[in-house]
Structure 1
C-alpha cells in the first residue's frame, strides 16, 4: 500500500512541479552568480593583489638544525652507579638513583627552554636586537637591517611605541616568549631517541650560530650542575665519614666518595656532557618560509568565495525588499 502511494505521488503534478522548482532554483543560483560576475571578479582581484603584496613583503625565514644524541658515557656511568650504590647512597642521604641518562636528557631539554637559561644566553651573546628588531638580511654583505620603528641601530636605542606598563626595550620575559614561540624548536625521535634542535631566523648565519651556541651552553650548564652537585655530595660524605667510627659505615662512605670522585672526573673531562652532536648545524641555503605561492593561491580563493557570497547576499536581500 505504501509503495502504491509513493508511486502515485511520484506521478502526480505536484511532484513534477516541485522538481521543476528545484531545477529552477539551481539555474537561478547560477544566474545570480553570473549577474554578479563583476563583483566576484573585483573581490578576487583585490584579494589576489593583496595576497601578492603580502607575500612579497614577508621576509625569508631560514632554519638551522642539529641532530644530537644523549651522551652514552654519562648515561652508562650514572646507570651503573645507580644499580651498584643506589641503596647505600640513599642510606647515606645521597640521591644518585634518579639521574638516569633519559632523565638527564629530559632535564637538559627543559633547562634549555627555561627563562633562566635564556636570560644567561641573552646576556652572554647580546642577541636581543637580532631577535626582536631584525627586519632584513643582505645575502651579499651578510648584514642585518633593523626595523626603525622598533630599534635605531645608529644610536643603539629602542624606538617602539608600547602601552604602559610595558617597557620600550623588550623585557627578558617578552624576548623569551618570542624565542620559544618563533625561533626555537626541539623534537625527539621516539624510535631512535635522537634529538633535533632547530632555530629559525631571517639570517641563516644567525640561525646556525644560535643552534651551535645553544648546544655548547646547555652542555656547559649541565656539566657545571653535575660538578656542583657531586662536589656537594663529596663534602657531605666526608663530613659523615668523620662522624662515624663504625668500620662498615666507613667502608660504605669510602666507596661512595670514590664513585662520586669518578663522576666528578667524568663531568670535568667530558665536554659533550649531555648531548653529542651527530650532525652539526650548517648555514641553510634555502628558505623554509614563507610559502609565497601558497599564500597567493589561498588569497585568490578567499577573494573568489567572498565575491560569490556577496553576490548571493545582495540578490536575496534585494528579493526580500521587493517582496
Structure 2
C-alpha cells in the first residue's frame, strides 16, 4: 500500500470518528438543555392557546346558486309576453314579423347576471351593512377613537372598515374546465354561526328585491321607449292623413264645380277617372263625396296604418307593469344553513403549531449555546 493511500484511509477514519464524537456531544448538549427546550415549548404553547381562545371568531355561512328555471320566473315571463304584440310588425298581406326585442330580458342567464351584479355591488353592500348592529358598534368605536384626528383620517378609517365588511359578503364563481361559469358560491361571515346565517340570508333576500326591481325596470324602459315610438308614428301618420284628406276634399270640390259647369249630373263612362279633377262620376256623386269628406273625422280611413298604431297604443294603455311582481332571478342548489364549526381561529391547529414552534425555538437556543461553548 502506498503512502498516499494509507494517509487517505487514516484521514477517513479520523473524520468518521470526529463525526461520531460530534453527534454524541450534540445529543448530550440537547439533553442538558432539555429544561430550556421544555420551557420554550410550554411558553409558546400557552401563548398559542391564549391567542386561540381570545382571537376574534369568524363563522362562515355558504350557499350555492345558479340561473333560475322557467317556473322560477313564469310570472315575469308572462308579463313580458303580454307586450309582445305591441312589438310585432303586422304586414298588409297578413304575415307577422315577430320582434326579438324582448327576448334577451327573459333569458335565465340575463336574470342571473343581474342578481350577481347586484350581489357584488358595493352600493348594495353598504346599504345593507349600515343596518347591521355589529357594524354600527364597530363604526361607533372608530368614531370614538378618531375624535382627535383630521376629517381625512376619519374618512380613511371608515373606508377601511367598510372595505373589511364588504369582504364579509362575496360571490365566488364555481368554474369547471372548458365551461362558462354557471354557479356561484355565496359567502357571509360574522362572529357567530347564527349571526353569519342571518347576515347572508338577509343579504340574499335584500339583493333579490334589488334584482327584481331592475328586471322590471328594464321592461318598463323598453315599453316606455316603444310607447314613445308609437306616439311619434301616430303623430306622423295623422298629419299625413289630414294632408291627404284636405287634398281629396279640394280635388272633389274643384271637380264638382267643373261637373256642374259642364252639366254632367250623372256618371259618364267615356271620361277618364285618372284625371286630376275626375268628373266621370257626375256632379250628384261629387256633391255627396264632398259632403262625406267635410264630415270625415276617422283619419284611419285615409291612412289604414293608424288602425294598427291605435290598436297597439290601446293595448299598451290596457297593460300594466307590476313593480311588486313575485319571481326569482336565481335558484338555490344549496340553500344557506347555519355552520356547525367556525372558520377561524383553528384552535387545535394553533395549539399544535405553538408546541412545534416552542420546541424548535428551545432547540435553536440550546444549539446556539453549544456552538459558542465549543468555540470557546
- Structure 1 length-normalised TM: 0.67
Counterpart in 2 of 1:69?
A: 66
Displacement over 6 Å in runs of 4+: none
Q: Indicate the SS of the match to 1:300.
A: helix
Q: 1:231 to 1:169 in 2, by over 3 A?
A: same
Distance 1:132 1:51, change over 3 A: farther
What displacement does 1:47 show? 0.4
Unaligned runs of 5+ in 1: 135-149
1:197 shift after superposition: 2.1
Is 2:34 aligned against 1:48?
no
Equivalent position of 1:57 in the other structure? 54
Q: What is the RMSD of the two structures over their aligned residues, measured on CA atoms?
A: 4.6
Question: Secondary structure at 2:66's aligned position in 1?
Answer: strand
Within a 5 Å distance, the mapping from 1:244-255 to structure 2 comes to: 244=233
SS of aligned partner of 1:167 = helix
Cα distance, 1:46 vs. partner? 0.6
Once the two structures are TM-superposed, the CA of residue 231 in structure 1 deviates from its matched residue by 1.5
Post-superposition CA distance 1:40-87 (Å, at most 9, x none): 111111101111111222354433333433222378969x99xx9xxx
Equivalent of residue 159 in structure 1, options 144, 155, 179? 144
Separation (CA, whole Å) in 2 of partners of 1:211 and 1:58 = 22
Deviation at 1:11, TM superposition (A): 7.1
Cα offsets for 1:226-252 (capped at 9, x unmatched): 22222122222222334446999x989
Q: Choose 1 or 2 for highest CA Rg.
A: 2
The alpha-carbon distance between structure 1 residues 33 and 103, as it changes in their structure 2 partners (threshold 3 A), is: farther
8 A contact 1:219–1:271 mirrored in 2? no
* Alpha-carbon displacement from aligned partner over 1:254-310 (angstroms, at most 9, x marks no partner): 99xx99x99966x853332x2234554344454443321211111111111111112
Please say if residues 161 and 168 of structure 1, whose CA atoms lie closer than 8 Å, have aligned partners that are also in contact: no
Q: Which residue of 2 aligns with 1:101?
A: 108
Residue 18 of structure 1 corresponds to 15
Name the residue aligned to 1:292.
347
1:132-151 correspondence runs (5 A): 133=137, 151=140
Offset at residue 14 of structure 1 (A): 1.5
Q: Tell me which moved more, 98-107 or 16-25.
A: 98-107
Q: Is the 8 A contact 2:62 2:337 kept in 1?
A: yes
1:222 to 206, 211, 214: 211
**5 Å matches for 1:122-271?**
122-123=129-130, 126-127=131-132, 129-131=133-135, 133=137, 151=140, 158-161=143-146, 164=150, 165-167=152-154, 171=158, 173-181=159-167, 183-190=168-175, 193-244=182-233, 269-271=325-327
Give yes or no for contact 2:120–2:171 (8 Å, CA) kept in 1.
Answer: no
The one of 89, 109, 115 aligned to 2:122: 115
Deviation at 1:311, TM superposition (A): 1.8
Asked if the contact 1:48–1:296 (Cα under 8 Å) also holds between the matched residues in 2, the reply is yes
Spell out, residue by residue over 1:179-228, the C-alpha distance to the aligned partner (whole angstroms, 9 max, x if none): 233x2243444469443323222233322221222111111111212222
* 8 Å CA contact 2:73, 2:327 repeated in 1: no
- Counterpart Cα distance in 1 of 2:304 and 2:20: 101
